[in-house]
Amino acid sequence: MNDFLIPFVEELKKLQKEGIKWKDIKHGKDSVKTTKVFTLTCSSDAPARCAMQNFKQFNGKFGCGFCEQEGLRVAKGKGHCRIYPFNGQVAAKRTFENCVRNAEEALATDKSVKGVKGTSVLMNLYPNFNMVDGFIPDYMHCVLLGVTRQLVCLFVESSGSLYSLRAKDIRRLDIRIKDLKLPHEATRKLRTTKDISFWKASEWRIFLLTSPVLLKNILNHIVYKHWLLSVHGITLLLGTNISRDDIAKAGDCLKRFVSGVKDIYGIAEQSYNIHLLLHLSATVKAWGPLWANSCFVFEDALGKLKTLHHGTKAVPMQITSAYTSKTLLGVLVSKQEIRNHQILKFIEEMQAKHAVTKKVTNINGCMLYGKPTYRNLLRTEEKAILKLLGDQLISTRVQFYNRMCYSGHIFSCKDYCSKFIHADYAVSLSSRNCVEIHRIIVLNGEVYFIGENIPATKFLMCYPQVGFLCSNILSISDDDAQCKSKTIAFRPLDVINKYVILPMTKKSVTYFIPINVAEY
C-alpha cells in the first residue's frame, strides 16, 4: 500500500507547497492566482483504512485505528471472531506521536506494536494531515452497512431469541415497508425483507431513520428501546446545526447502546463496527456531521465511472477517454460559440443526468415543471400571502404549478403526489413547523408555497436517565387530520427538511419521519 500511495502523497505535498495557478478572468486576463490544497480528512472502509495507516486489521489485536483497545478473540459459529467489549470506559486514544514511536519500534523489532506494523507514507503529510485524527469512521460502512445491517439481519434471520421476529411479525414489517412514501431524495425504494441480503447502503439509510416506526410494536419492547438509543444518537449526529449538547447526548446514547449489546445479543456480537460507535461523537465534534464526510459521494462517483466503459478490454483507457470527452465538451462548446438552438439542445440532452423535461420555467432559481393554470387566490390563500409579504397585493390572479425543483430538491403539491409513489409535499420549515404543500404559485415574479400546518404530536419514547428518544418523528391521527388547519404561505428557501410518510390505516395514524435534505 505504501508503494501505491507514494505518487499520491508526492502530488499532495506539491499541491500544499506550490498550489494550483489559475487565471481569474473576472479581474482581467493577466490576473493569475495561486490556490494551495491541503488534505485534512480521509473517509474509507475499515480494510482500506488500516492498509493506508499500516495498522493491523480490525480482526487482529489492537485492530482499532482510533484507540488502543486490544479486543478479545471468542468463538462464534464454527469459527472465531474478535470482539471489543465495553465496560463503560473508552480505551486510551491513539495519537500521532505514539503511532510514530510504535512504528519505529515495529521496524526495529520486526513485530507489530499495539497494532502498528510499521511506518506509513501518509506520515509525511503531517501536520496538515494527521494520520490518526484525520481518518473518519465512515457513516456508510460503519453505521449502515455495519451496525444496522448486522442487527437487523439478526432480527429477521434468527429464531428463538429475544430479538428474533416471528413470521407474522416479518409480514407486518414488510407491509409497513411497502406503505412508506418516500421523497425524491431517497433514490431507491426500500425493498422488503425478502431481499434484505441485497439491500444497498441507501436502503439501510432509509430503514435506520424510519425504524422507530417500522419496528414499533413488532420488536420486543426491551430490544426496541435499546435499538432506539442507536437511532437517536445517530440522528443527532446527522443534523445540520449540531450543538455541543447534541454531541454529548449522542455520545451518551451510543455508549449506553454499545454497553447493552452483550446482554441482548451476546458477547460475540460486540463487533468492531459497534465499537466504532464510541468514536463517532468525537469525530463529529472535530469534523462536522456524519453525512459531510461519508463515502456516499465517492460511491456515487464510482457508479458514474462504471457507466463510461462498454467493453471488457482496456477498461481504464475507456473510462479515461469517455470522462475526458465529457468534461471537455462544455469547454469546446463555449469556445466555438455555437448559436444553433437545435445543436445546443442536443448537447444539453447529452450532458443531462436525467431525461430532460420539455416544459420548464425558471424563476429566480426555481425550476417550475409543466404548464401553469391561472385563477384568483381564495380568501384564505390571499390572507396567508398578505401575512408573509406584509403589503397590498397588486393582483390576486396568479399562476399555479404542481411541481418544481429548488436547490436540487423536488417539491410537489399534495394532490399531485397522490398519483405517484414519491411524496414531496411534507416539509419542515425554519420555524420548526411541519407543513403540507397544497399550492405552488407564482406571484409578482416570485415563487411561493401555500400549505397547511400539520397538527402533529411528537413521537415520545422515554428511556431512563436519557429522556425522550426520536422526538423529531411526528404523528397525526386521522381525526386530527380532518380538523381545519391554519393556512400559511412561505418561500422555498424557508424549507429545511422533508419527510418520509408512513400511513398506518389500521391504527388510523400517519407518521412523518424527517430526513435532512442537506445530506443528499
What's the pTM value of the predicted model, to 2 decimals?
A: 0.90
Residue pair 154/269 in contact by the 8 Å Cβ criterion: yes
* Exposure b/e, 211-220, CB count within 10 A at least 16 = b: bbbbbbebbb
152 and 272: one domain? Answer: yes
**Closest by alpha carbon to 282, among 86, 466, 135?**
135
Helix boundaries (H) for 238-314:
244-265, 272-276, 280-287, 296-306
**Do 288 and 330 have their domain in common?**
no
Residues 411 and 470 grouped into a single domain: yes
Contacts of range 107-113, beta carbons closer than 8 Å, 24 or more positions apart: 112/56, 112/61, 112/62
Residues 65 and 117 in one domain: yes
Residues 46 and 125 in one domain: yes
CA 143 distance to own-chain centroid: 11
Q: Is residue 332 part of a domain?
A: yes
Give the chain's residues under pLDDT 50: none
Supply the pLDDT for residue 29: 67
- Shared-domain flag, residues 103 and 141: yes
The pLDDT value given to residue 397: 81
- How long a stretch of residues is the chain? 520
Q: Are residues 95 and 117 in the same domain?
A: yes
With respect to residue 193, please indicate whether it lies within any of the assigned structural domains: no
Are 378 and 386 a contacting pair, CB within 8 Å?
no
Find the domain containing 71 and state its range. Answer: 42-165+219-298
Which position has the grid cell 425554519? 430
Residues 280 and 395 in one domain: no
Report if residue 182 sits inside a domain.
Answer: no
Please give the single-letter amino acid code of residue 56: K
Same domain, 364 and 511: yes
SS3 258: helix
pLDDT at residue 360, rounded to an integer = 86
Domain count, the chain: 4
Question: Does 213 reside within a domain?
Answer: no
Q: Which residue matches cell numbers 444497498?
A: 200
- pLDDT, residue 192, reads 96
Q: Please indicate, yes or no, if residue 120 is contained in any of the structural domains.
A: yes
Other C-beta atoms closer than 10 Å to the C-beta of 512 total: 23
Q: Are 2 and 81 members of one domain?
A: no
* pLDDT attached to residue 520: 77
Closest CA to 177 of 155, 193, 195: 193
